[in-house]
Amino acid sequence: MTLNAVALARLPDGVRRPAFNPAALKSGIVHLGIGAFHRAHQAVFTQDAIEKHGGNWGIIGASLLRADVPDALARQGCLYTVESLGSEARYQVMGALRQALFAPRDSDTLLAALAAPTTHAVTLTLSEKGYCLNADGTLDFSHPDILADLATPQTPRSAIGWLTLALEQRRKSGAGPLLR
């Protein structure tokens, strides 16, 4: 069975479903680096907060390097299951993720989400290399992705490049600051 909105009603009773309608949830977070760590931790905490307090804190997630994860999530309406292990395995369907993007392919959609006045937070979970830093923690201006971002700032490759372009777009459009 493919997980999707229709399949939610047919899941076994022991599978926890979102306590809200995922299709009605508006996005307020854009996340760069939509890997397993984000999906199993930050997205879970976000969903728990939405279930407890409400709010438009749905997540638009983007992969900067690979299309496989966003494409798989898109086929499932961005629903996925988290398994928690303990004395018994527990399963929870996640509905906080509202859109999954591949940055190089979906660049216009990603920039629009990052620059939207409804986006209140931008979060990141990247590998150590993804931050493009030197050993001393400063930006590595010789990193190939940073060099590419400097050469063509309108088509960023790095998270730093995406953030820079988005913040510039937010400033120009008057979208306001993040985390307000």
Q: What integer pLDDT is reported at residue 24 of this predicted model?
A: 95
Q: How confident is the model at residue 179 (pLDDT cuts 50, 70, 90)?
A: confident
Cα separation, 175 vs 172, in Å, equals 8
Cα 31 from Cα 121, distance rounded (Å): 8
Tell me which of 6 and 15 has the higher pLDDT.
15
15-16 and 97-102: which strand pairing? unpaired
Share of the chain above pLDDT 70, in %: 99
Mean pLDDT of 117-128: 93
- If one compares 176 and 158, the residue with the highest pLDDT of the two is 158
DSSP 47-81: HHHHHHH--S-EEEEEESS-SHHHHHHHHTTT-EE
| pLDDT digit string, tens, across residues 87-119 | 888 999 999 999 999 999 999 999 999 999 999
Buried b (16+ CB within 10 A) or exposed e, 145-161: bbeebeeeeeebbbbbb
Residue 102 to residues 24, 47, 53, 70, 88, Cα–Cα distance (Å): 23, 22, 30, 6, 35
Quick check: pTM over 0.85?
yes
Q: Is the pLDDT of residue 1 over 80?
A: no
The pLDDT value recorded for residue 5 is: 86
pLDDT of residue 162 exceeding 90: yes
pLDDT tens figures, 131-140: 999 999 999 9
Q: What is the DSSP secondary-structure string of 102-171?
A: ETTTSHHHHHHHHH-TT--EEEE---GGGG-B-TTSSB-TTSHHHHHHHH-TTS--SHHHHHHHHHHHHH
Question: Which residue in this structure is represented by tokens 């292990």?
Answer: 85
- pLDDT tens, residue by residue, 20-75: 999 999 999 999 999 999 999 999 999 999 999 999 999 999 999 999 999 999 99
Residue with structure tokens 């859109």?
A: 99
CB contact at 8 A, 169 and 117: no
Mean per-residue pLDDT of the chain: 94
Per-residue model confidence (pLDDT) at position 180:
58
- What's residue 31's pLDDT? 98
